A = this chain, B = another copy of it.
Amino acid sequence: MSANDNRPLTLRDVSEASGVSEMTVSRVLRNRGDVSDATRQRVLEAAKELGYVPNKIAGALASQRVNLVAVIIPSMSNMVFPEVMTGISEALEETGLQPVVGVTGYSPEKEEKVLYEMLSWRPSGVIIAGLEHSDASRAMLRASGIPVVEIMDVDGTPVDSVVGISHRRAGRQMAQAILKDGYEHIAFLGTKMAQDHRARKRFEGFTEALAKAGVEIEDREFYSGGSALVKGREMTKEVLERSPDLDFIYYSNDLIGAGGLLYLLEQGVKIPQDFGLAGFNGLNLLKGLPRELASMDACRHEIGHTAAEIIARRVEEGAAGKPERVVLEPKISYGDTLRRR
């Protein structure tokens, strides 16, 4: 290897090493335009020999193109977003676009910062979770002039395109399924949802559909922090001591639902005959528990995939592109914790 003066290599270095103009070297390295096989070989060899890695910063500035897609999500540890990410990566695989992730921790202020930070890299598009953003965030998104896809939720007004499910409708559907199965004394256990708009909307849809049938939630409780499985157990225990007449609990996610399920099984409760349970998310992680929890698939993978496709398409179309709206249909999986009448 040549003497390393610790200065990153430039096109010029490769140009000198190969005796080919910078421009042609650039063409070879990007596979753009016609270059004779002979020079191509010489360039490739020189580049490899030197260990040259192109400087995308300079390239992006010169070409005004950045192959990055900003993906902004509330959390990585959530179990729901990894799947969305997988869908995104898949769809972007062949497009030359690259996802870059930013995490907001469910905080609108953090979201604003992360968005600002990411937009300052001039990505080709933005995929962002949820429809609720600060005015400043929304303004940035609009002003960015790049395609934006808001994901997960469709209950609200998108900035541009949107892909997701209706969480209000999801809550309603679950309520209807429960009522049809003849459960009547129903509680809701969930996360503290000041910032979890989607859980809130499910809850609202749920109570609304119950109300329409003349049924009211008999108990509810919200938690934050801790192991979800343990919390599910604890909250289920508490709520049943407080309201012993309950025959159903709707959980805002599968993990606390699983905790409740395990607790009830230990208590010898007959599920689903005497007591029913349902969660949300269709966490296939949980397959393998003694019983399978009824749940609802949030279409996470498909949401990611579709959102990324929209971005890719819009990037190709340029200014010609139009906003899209894709509403996915979550399906109830009855598992073993809903009796079927």
A residues at B contact (CB < 8 Å):
4, 6, 8, 51, 53-58, 60-61, 66, 76-77, 82-83, 85-86, 89, 98, 100-101, 103, 116-117, 119-122, 139-140, 143-145, 227-233, 255, 259, 262, 266, 284-290, 319
Contact B66 A76 (CB under 8 A): no
Contact B233 A288 (CB under 8 A): yes
Cβ contact of A288, chosen from B98, B143, B230, cutoff 8 A: B230
- The answer to whether A122 and B57 touch (CB under 8 A), given A232-B288, A287-B230, is yes
- The answer to whether A53 and B140 touch (CB under 8 A), given A83-B77, A103-B89, A319-B6, is yes
Copies held by the complex: 2
A89 cross-chain contacts in B, Cβ below 8 A: 103
A77 cross-chain contacts in B, Cβ below 8 A: 82-83, 86
Q: A58-B61, A61-B61, A227-B285 are in contact. List 17 more A-B contacts (CB 8 A).
A: A8-B145, A53-B116, A53-B120, A54-B120, A55-B120, A55-B122, A56-B121, A57-B61, A57-B66, A76-B76, A76-B86, A227-B284, A227-B288, A229-B287, A230-B288, A231-B288, A233-B288
Q: Among the interface residues A6, A58, A76, A262, which one has the most CB atoms of the partner chain B within 10 A? A: A76
Cβ contact of A262, chosen from B85, B229, B288, B319, cutoff 8 A: B288
- A255, B61: Cα distance in complex, Å: 46
- A6, B319: Cα distance in complex, Å: 10
A57 cross-chain contacts in B, Cβ below 8 A: 57, 60-61, 66, 121-122
A231: nearest residue on chain B (CB-CB)?
B288
Contact A120 B285 (CB under 8 A): no
Q: What is the predominant secondary structure among interface residues of chain A facing chain B?
A: helix
Give the shortest distance, in Å, between A31 (CB) and chain B (any CB).
15
- The answer to whether A101 and B98 touch (CB under 8 A), given A6-B319, A66-B57, A288-B262, is no
Cβ contact of A290, chosen from B66, B139, B230, B266, cutoff 8 A: B266
A227: nearest residue on chain B (CB-CB)?
B287
- A287, B258: Cα distance in complex, Å: 12
A51 cross-chain contacts in B, Cβ below 8 A: 139-140, 143
Give the shortest distance, in Å, between A107 (CB) and chain B (any CB).
13
- The answer to whether A122 and B232 touch (CB under 8 A), given A77-B86, A288-B259, is no
- A54, B229: Cα distance in complex, Å: 44
A284: nearest residue on chain B (CB-CB)?
B227
Give the shortest distance, in Å, between A305 (CB) and chain B (any CB).
15
18 A–B contacts, CB within 8 A, in A order:
A6-B145, A6-B319, A8-B144, A51-B139, A51-B140, A53-B144, A54-B120, A56-B122, A57-B66, A58-B61, A82-B82, A89-B103, A98-B117, A101-B101, A227-B284, A230-B288, A262-B288, A262-B290
- A121, B83: Cα distance in complex, Å: 26
A259 cross-chain contacts in B, Cβ below 8 A: 288
Give the shortest distance, in Å, between A1 (CB) and chain B (any CB).
8
A114: nearest residue on chain B (CB-CB)?
B98
A56 cross-chain contacts in B, Cβ below 8 A: 120-122
Give the shortest distance, in Å, between A160 (CB) and chain B (any CB).
14
